[in-house]
Structure 1
Amino acid sequence: MNPDAIDITHFELERIIGQGGFGKVYACRKKSDKGKLNDKDQWYAIKKLEKDFILKSKTGVDSVFTELNSVRDLIHKNICCCQYGFLSDDAVYIVLDIAFGGDLRYALKQSKLKNATTKLKCFDEDRSKFYLAQLLDALDYCHQCQVLHRDIKPENMLIVTNGYLKLTDFGISMKQDNIEDCKARSGTMGYMAPEIIMAGCNHGKPSEWFSVGVCTHEFLLGLRPYDAKKLAKCRAGIDDDLISELKLKELESSKLTDPAKDFVSSLIHLKTEGRLGAANGSADLRGHDFFKGFDFEAVKNQTMKAPFLPDINVANCDTGSNDAEEMFGGMEDEKKISFTPEQQAKFNGYGYNTEIS
């Protein structure tokens, strides 16, 4: 540890607020006023990623640098902004805006509403619009900054204390001068647009709108529109047989309003041509009848009452087999793993806002 730099010892770890294959996210409080931000007692989220796990993945090191380099330059109320980034001997840490309410995947699981057609837990149209309006604001800002998120899904949308939303996890985002000319295939199957799946095809902002459509389908019906294995057939191209195979049966037979059905089906159009948003970006989505009469300004100014307020006194994530002591007992001790100098060197240059002034 560098005594002249911000590190994990400057934070009091309180409890787990999220976890997944990448590691765990902890609610923490800044213990000191050291650093540039004058932020003693400020609450943050710390994402801890074990170096051992990172090094086992071919893209792991690139991913942690990508997330830090992308998110530290993004400052928006609907994005989990980066405040610090630092290393320890065994782990990588990124300190972000806190979101005590968990992610929208967990919120869907906890929803008391079930869709009449699918019998699965879902959100109503008003609650879906509330989250989607904020997602559009976040994505507009990202696109203005020449950033494609590339992994839009419920797990990456977090609920903060006032019920509003923040987009997170920029680990596979792409920042380049022309974001309509992205060639790297990346994302989560089931949410990835066909043009990303197809080998050699460029993709850009329309691919993000496809993912928004998948999420909207999931919000309203409780499941994704396309089976991931069937969607993977897009690698060979899109023909009439595949379009027929990927017919939107649940959406078409549902009792959703006609504008909602059209909004979703227009977003998850398999071909970029004709997809909602391909012509005029988010303006096409905001101008759709699905949002007729919706007060976007009230959401942007956060004067609209949130349809759901999280209980911040509980762990709003799946706790699995973890007991209360693990969930609320702070961060576990670091694993004592020996890394070679060459392995440690892969993390050289990782850090943000660590200077003590």
Structure 2
Amino acid sequence: MGGGATKINKDAIDITHFELERIIGQGGFGKVYACRKKSDMGKLNDKESWYAIKKLEKDFILKSKTGVESVFTELSSVRDLIHQNICNCHYGFLSDDAVYIVLDIAFGGDLRYALKQSKIKEKSTKLKVFDEYRAKFYLIQVLDALDYCHSKNILHRDIKPENMLIVTNGYLKLTDFGISLKCDNIEECKARSGTMGYMAPEIIKSGSSHGTPSEWFSFGVCAHEFLLGLRPFDAKKLALCRGGIDDDLRNDMKLKELENAKDLSAEGKEFIQKLVELSIEDRLGTTGGSKTIREHPWLKDFDFAGIIAQSIKAPFMPDVTVANCDTGSNDAEEMFGGMEDEVKVSFTPEQQAKFNGYGYNMETA
């Protein structure tokens, strides 16, 4: 398919070492392709191995104020993270018009797409949800991945279903570290970043610091979305937290959907309520960290060891023969073809220089 007859560059890792098969995801800067490695260059002996290649168009990167910083940030973070519930990085390289990062493959798509394909909670609302067992299965893996990131002084800062990918065996990998932050004290971060609707109030509030408890808030938003089919707070209402949280705002942001959920256990309701607590001091995980989340009654009896060993059968097995993503196109050639026909964009030497130093090769690291 994509570039199968292209001569392999023997001097350095680049796109010629990979055969592109099909699109498995796409976002603002570009597309993610399933690919096979066509050669060995070092110690990994990974010829014919499957990977995901994220191709980020330089044109789009340069149009964003933080685009260049984002691609360097993602590579810097993921190259330092090796965990079964994280999309580990294997290679990073450049072409004239794009930035590439080669990651673990996840044929099952993301949890946003999985939610769209899941059961309907209520015919009147058409809300899609996971059952409690399936939600726990995913959340425990995200919790483990975040715990590992925090141990490496890295905040992910963009926890949402789109960044949780299902692999062939039904297990989960966390991805997209483009706005992650690595620092000596991850509890005193002041840089505001994230996706509205998932961002904790303390991130939105001007001048306040935030850290791991903010990740637990986003984690709780995902739990609410998995089990009730929607986020707990409207993004516009969360934005009002910029000026602080008073009694009127707190009353206006009551978790009515959670309170009225008939099919959700009392423990599940409390778990979510404590995670999406607007006050950081009262939020689950602020005191005691992830240990208190693991020990919550809703999770504590789940087989954590089985999750870590991946000995538990996943509650959902993806069909890896189809594209588990919204491609925005019914064009089979675009879906399953390569990238040779894409329009080339010219860049100035000054623009190209912004990408100097980008690169990683696990085979020689």
Superposition TM-score tier, normalisation by shorter sequence:
over 0.9
Q: Give 1:334 deviation, angstroms.
A: 4.2
SS in 2 for 1:18: strand
Task: Compute the RMSD of aligned alpha carbons.
Answer: 1.6
Given candidates 336, 339, 347, the residue that maps to 1:331 is 339
Give 2:145's aligned amino acid: A
2:4 corresponds to which residue? Answer: none
Q: Give 1:116 deviation, angstroms.
A: 7.9
Given candidates 143, 147, 158, the residue that maps to 1:140 is 147
Give 1:46's aligned amino acid: I
Rounded to whole Å, the distance in 1 between the matches of 2:319 and 2:339 is 22
TM-score by length of 1: 0.97
Rounded to whole Å, the distance in 2 between the matches of 1:152 and 1:68 is 18
SS in 1 for 2:361: coil
Does structure 1 residue 123 correspond to structure 2 residue 130? yes
1:280 corresponds to which residue? Answer: 288
Structure 2 residue runs without a partner (length 5+): 1-7
1:271 corresponds to which residue? Answer: 279
Structure 1 residue runs without a partner (length 5+): none
Does structure 1 residue 346 correspond to structure 2 residue 326? no
Rounded to whole Å, the distance in 1 between the matches of 2:32 and 2:97 is 16
SS in 2 for 1:273: helix
- Whether the 8 Å CA contact 1:50–1:92 is kept in 2: the answer is yes
SS in 2 for 1:247: coil
- Whether the 8 Å CA contact 1:100–1:316 is kept in 2: the answer is yes
Rounded to whole Å, the distance in 2 between the matches of 1:347 and 1:174 is 19
Rounded to whole Å, the distance in 2 between the matches of 1:274 and 1:299 is 29
Distance 1:322 1:53, change over 3 A: farther
Distance 1:152 1:272, change over 3 A: same
Given candidates 201, 217, 220, the residue that maps to 1:213 is 220
Greater mean alpha carbon deviation, residues 113-122 or residues 36-45: 113-122
Q: Give 1:33 deviation, angstroms.
A: 1.4
Rounded to whole Å, the distance in 1 between the matches of 2:199 and 2:81 is 23
- Whether the 8 Å CA contact 2:53–2:101 is kept in 1: the answer is yes
2:60 corresponds to which residue? Answer: 53
- Whether the 8 Å CA contact 2:44–2:363 is kept in 1: the answer is no
- Map of 1:178-327 to 2, 5 A cutoff? 178-255=185-262, 256-327=264-335
1:29 corresponds to which residue? Answer: 36
Q: Give 1:224 deviation, angstroms.
A: 0.3
Give 1:102's aligned amino acid: G
Which string of whole-angstrom CA distances, capped at 9 and with x for unpartnered residues, describes residues 237-282 of structure 1?
1101110111111010011111011000100000101100000111
SS in 2 for 1:12: strand
Q: Give 1:92 deviation, angstroms.
A: 0.2
How many pairs are equivalent?
A: 357
Distance 1:268 1:257, change over 3 A: same
